[in-house]
């Protein structure tokens, strides 16, 4: 006779526990195929539960095909194909925080909480149920209009909202682009550059090419085999270079010479300090070959996963035809909130505030470095734009050793050479990349002391 | 002498307008390469603006390489490669609402706004700045724990939070899976089935196979060439079939016989009415071949783009190694809020409320249909589970005509035959799919009158 200790768990009916026990025995083989189960009354008595409990369990087992009922005879264990046996694999550990001063970047550390949450409440009250209506796959139309207006005012771009596509982060947009432009194409990225981009193109099965740069940027003559070029002309990472108009036009003509595309990654153009940012490459493009891409993760908060791209009209038409079945990946609620944040001028205010903050932080950092114990060993390069600059060391040390000494002193930092897809050229050695976007005032203080550890 | 009407625009400095005019003339060729620009003083006088304005414009043009300055001589237009000329392409129209009664589905129409926004405020206050910290690429750990707990309580699944991966919608997760499992594999989907899934696999360049179904589901013997099988065993769309344990075990053994995987799409398992939902296939899988997938878009709100998958430990390890560079696509803020919504029991309450609501709606709808003018022509099939059922018509009409008559009467509805990848078998004809998840009480009233239009 079957005997189980039926444990009473909150929210779990008793018949459920009984069902689980019998099911486990059938799957384990402890109850053999064809074996007859005790009658409901007998089992109920044996387990000291009500007959209804047993009935519930049997009914469930019946409905799932674990047992069969034979009229006037009873219940029998079904002959089930035995499930395969389990493998044993270790689990993945969780990532953890640390006490490092992080100069490897990761987006802004300030966010206009009060404004944002006020807008969230408003949106919830004003739109209610309509927040549940599915949005167009390109994203909430008023948000696209607000983005177009922003691009017009801040980047001198003339963009039609219907050519904007909103997505949950640039990684996702890259994936869409590869499906749109084709995996059979060769995607060229800047060398040095942000390695993740190449990884994403590679993971999607596209051909990849690391295009070397001169002082103006990537060189058209190295791109003859490429079909798609991914660049950040307004502020290259990690060199900080700004591409002059001449080279921009050369690249536009490279693109116009074939079925070629340029992806303009404009990720931190909001943060030029000493001059107005250069106009976007997209606003020079009259052949419809430039795909403009930007994100609010850098300018607003990394935890806000809203990026967008501006497609040339022909390409947007192709997207709707080929990939129009994809739904928009950004929650409506965030899109409605961001729309208000933009159209009511909060984003502009926020950007201006951040620009001041970053400029001060950068100046304090530069000052600190120039008066630090390592001041006589360093030169600061390309510090006029964006959220990072380069630190060139007058040293014989390898970049590995140099970087390791910083980490040992509690400073997370990366060498420029690490961003080359091949071996770095001589002039790229002995350079560290200083991202100060996440550097808090508190850490700025700490940094001074930690730099002293370096020269001990 | 250059002459422009400089328009004063709010927020746009005058030098900016002047810069734009000259830049346009250089790009259009109206200002020829090598041409000398007027002196700052002369141009300022001519335009009746201050010398500083002209200086600002020239400085900007210089910094962008549009002009060059020759010591003591003046400013000259640079020789720029001419940009290519524009193509003309029509823009995309916006999708629009309508007065149709929509029986094609699209997720729940009720959402617990007050609770959700209260939790949002709490989250904002309680976590503040820490909301800005980037999350693990698998998603917010406490949310994964809450999901694991939910799966344990509602689906009898034993899931480790470290094997859960959270993403912005299932479309995105499919894209990740293809990159993880390989484009060189053949992905089998259920035929009939939700066509979008096949489209996504195809768009990502994977091999595809439409697997026919018998009354138990897809048949292992038709899957010899497939490597990945995508199914919804707990409630198949559109047939509404529930896969019995026997077939589940056969498919598990199919998967274990090679380097094969089963993607279990459990999209609306929360909504079984007359019986407890069947346990997930995943909980029968001991060989680690099942990838479980579910979404909050169906159970909570389509506008909340939070889906997740449970990977077998070995596969999660592979993901972290191969694709660990992908960031999480869901905003932290939504993840924190959903975590509270789940762990404080609001989701359970919501599901129970919705289940009641859907059950009543379904009963009213069935009643309405059975007492409607078309009652003598219809049979209702598979109405015990999920958010849709089938309406079989006793008619000679083609599905096209039948469907068109519904649309003409203001009822959006799809025929079962439309979900077959090939031609539908005889028994699948004359069946319409009734999704009632978006059917409001108001529309239920309307529906009665519109059904009368059908028999006129």
pLDDT of residue A125: 87
Q: How many angstroms away from the CA of B180 is the closest CA of chain A?
A: 8
Nearest CA among A113, A101, A112, A106 for reference residue A442: A101
Q: Which residues pair with B290 in a beta bridge?
A: B262
Confidence at residue B81, expressed as pLDDT on a 0 to 100 scale: 59
Q: Say if CB A262 and CB A284 are below 8 A apart.
A: no
Which range has the worst mean pLDDT, A59-73, A305-319, B79-93, B306-320? Answer: B79-93
pLDDT at B85: 43
The pLDDT of residue B95: 35
Measured between CA atoms, the residue of chain A closest to residue B312 is A89
Burial class (CB within 10 angstroms; exposed 0-12, middle 13-18, buried 19+) of A195: middle
Query: Mean per-residue pLDDT for A258-278?
Result: 82
Determine the pLDDT at residue A276: 65
Question: Which residues 119-138 of B are in CB contact (within 8 Å) with A?
Answer: 120-121, 124, 128-129, 131-136, 138
Chain centre to alpha carbon of residue B298: 11
pLDDT at residue B159 greater than cutoff 50: yes
- pLDDT number for residue A93: 36
Report the 10 Å Cβ neighbour count for B95: 12
Lowest mean pLDDT among A87-101, A120-134, B432-446: A87-101
Distance from C-alpha of B423 to C-alpha of B439, rounded to nearest angstrom? 30
Please report the pLDDT score of residue A80 as a whole number: 66
ipTM of the complex: 0.73
Does pLDDT of B38 surpass 80? yes
User: pLDDT grade, residue A385 (50/70/90)?
Assistant: low
Q: What is the pLDDT of residue B87?
A: 40
Residue count of chain B, please give it: 456
Tell whether A86 lies on the interface with B, counting CB pairs under 8 A: yes
Q: How confident is the model at residue B456 (pLDDT cuts 50, 70, 90)?
A: low
The percentage of residues in chain B with a pLDDT greater than 70, rounded to a whole number, is: 91
Return the pLDDT at B55.
86
Q: What is the mean pLDDT of residues B134-162?
A: 92
- For B10, the 3-state DSSP assignment is coil
- Give the β-pairing of A74-77 and A67-70: antiparallel
The secondary structure of B131-196 as a DSSP string is: GGSPPPTT--HHHHHHHHHHHHHHH-----GGGEEEESSHHHHHHHHHHHH-TTSEEEEEES--HH
Report how far apart the first and last C-alpha atoms of chain B are (Å, whole number): 78
pLDDT band at B42 (very low <50, low <70, confident <90, very high): confident
B92 touches chain A (CB under 8 A): yes
The whole-angstrom separation of Cα A35 and Cα A400 is 68
Is B171 in Cβ contact with A327 (below 8 Å)?
yes
Using CB atoms, pick whichever of A86, A205, A314 lies closest to residue B87. Answer: A314
Mean pLDDT score across all residues of chain B? 87
Q: What is the mean pLDDT of residues A381-391?
A: 79
Q: What is the pLDDT of residue B316?
A: 95
Residue A87 has pLDDT above 60, yes or no: no
What mean pLDDT is predicted for residues B276-299? 89
* pLDDT at site B168: 93
- Residue B90 in this model has a pLDDT that exceeds 60: no
Residues of B in contact with A128 (CB under 8 A): 113
- pLDDT for A455: 77
* Residue A168 contacts B where some CB pair is shorter than 8 Å: yes
- Range with the lowest mean pLDDT among A9-13, A224-228, A277-281? A9-13
Q: Touching check for A42 and chain B: CB below 8 Å?
A: no
E strand segments, A48-149: 67-70, 74-77, 101-102
pLDDT at B351 over 70: yes
The pLDDT value given to residue A277: 66
pLDDT of residue B92: 34
Residues of A in contact with B304 (CB under 8 A): 331, 333
Q: What is the mean pLDDT of residues A269-284?
A: 78
Of A28-42, A291-305, B319-333, the one with minimum mean pLDDT is: A28-42
pLDDT of B96 reads 40
Mean pLDDT of B213-233: 96
Residue A213's contacts (CB-CB under 8 Å, 6 or more residues apart) are A190, A191, A192, A219, A236, A239, A241
Is the confidence at residue B109, as pLDDT, over 80?
Answer: no
What are the structural domains of chain A?
A: 14-87 (1.10.10.10), 102-109+350-455 (3.90.1150.10), 113-344 (3.40.640.10)
Q: What's the alpha-carbon Rg for chain B, to the nearest Å? A: 30
Nearest CA in chain B to A315: B89
A275 interfacial to chain B (CB closer than 8 Å):
yes
Least reliable range by pLDDT among A419-423, B273-277, B441-445: B273-277
Q: Quote the pLDDT of residue A381.
A: 87
Q: What pLDDT shows up at residue A225?
A: 94
pLDDT at B54 exceeding the cut of 70 = yes
The arithmetic mean of pLDDT across residues B228-257, rounded, is 93
Q: Given B89, B135, B327, which is nearest A171 (Cβ)? A: B327
Count contacts between A and B (CB, < 8 Å). 274
B27/B30 Cα distance (integer angstroms):
8
Q: In whole angstroms, what is the distance from residue B443 CA to residue A223 CA?
A: 59
Measured in degrees and rounded to the nearest 5, phi and psi for residue A192 equal: -75, 165
Smallest Cβ–Cβ distance between A66 and the set B132, B175, B245 belongs to B245
């Amino acid at each position: 006779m079957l005997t189980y200790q039926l444990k009473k768990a909150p929210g779990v009916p008793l018949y459920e526990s009984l069902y689980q026990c019998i099911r486990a025995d059938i799957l384990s083989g402890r109850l053999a195929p064809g074996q007859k189960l005790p009658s409901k009354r007998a089992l109920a008595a044996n387990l000291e539960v009500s007959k209804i409990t047993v009935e519930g369990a049997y009914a469930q087992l019946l409905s799932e095909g674990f047992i069969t009922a034979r009229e006037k005879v009873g219940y029998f264990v079904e002959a089930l194909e035995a499930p395969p046996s389990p493998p044993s694999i270790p689990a993945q550990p969780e990532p953890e925080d640390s006490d490092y001063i992080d100069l490897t970047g990761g987006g802004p550390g300030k966010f206009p909480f009060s404004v944002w949450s006020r807008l969230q409440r408003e949106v919830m009250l004003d739109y209610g149920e309509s927040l549940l209506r599915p949005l167009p796959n390109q994203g909430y139309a008023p948000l696209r209009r607000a983005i177009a207006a922003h691009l017009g005012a801040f980047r001198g771009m003339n963009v039609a909202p219907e050519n904007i596509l909103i997505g949950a982060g640039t990684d996702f947009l890259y994936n869409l682009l590869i499906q749109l432009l084709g995996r059979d194409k060769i995607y060229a990225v800047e060398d040095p550059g942000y390695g993740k981009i190449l990884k994403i193109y590679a993971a999607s099965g596209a051909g990849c090419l690391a295009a070397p740069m001169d002082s103006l940027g990537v060189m058209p003559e190295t791109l003859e085999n490429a079909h798609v070029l991914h660049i950040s002309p307004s502020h290259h990472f990690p060199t900080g270079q700004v591409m002059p108009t001449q080279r921009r036009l050369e690249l536009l003509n490279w693109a116009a010479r074939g079925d070629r595309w340029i992806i303009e990654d404009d990720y931190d153009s909001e943060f030029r300090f000493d001059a107005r940012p250069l106009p976007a490459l997209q606003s020079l493009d009259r052949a419809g070959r430039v795909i403009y891409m930007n994100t609010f993760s850098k300018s607003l908060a990394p935890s806000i996963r809203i990026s967008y791209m501006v497609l040339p009209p022909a390409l947007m038409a192709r997207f709707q035809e080929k990939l129009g079945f994809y739904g928009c990946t950004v929650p409506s609620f965030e899109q409605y909130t961001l729309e208000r944040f933009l159209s009511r001028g909060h984003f502009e205010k926020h950007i201006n505030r951040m620009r001041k903050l970053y400029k001060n932080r950068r100046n304090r950092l530069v000052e600190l470095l120039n008066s630090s114990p390592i001041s006589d060993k360093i030169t600061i390069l390309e510090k006029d734009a964006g959220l990072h600059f380069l630190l060139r060391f007058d040293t014989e040390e390898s970049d590995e050793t140099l970087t390791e000494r910083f980490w040992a002193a509690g400073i997370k930092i990366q060498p420029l050479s690490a961003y080359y897809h091949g071996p770095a050229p001589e002039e790229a050695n002995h350079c560290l990349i200083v991202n100060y976007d996440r550097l808090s005032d508190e850490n700025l203080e700490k940094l001074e002391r930690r730099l002293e550890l370096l020269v001990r």
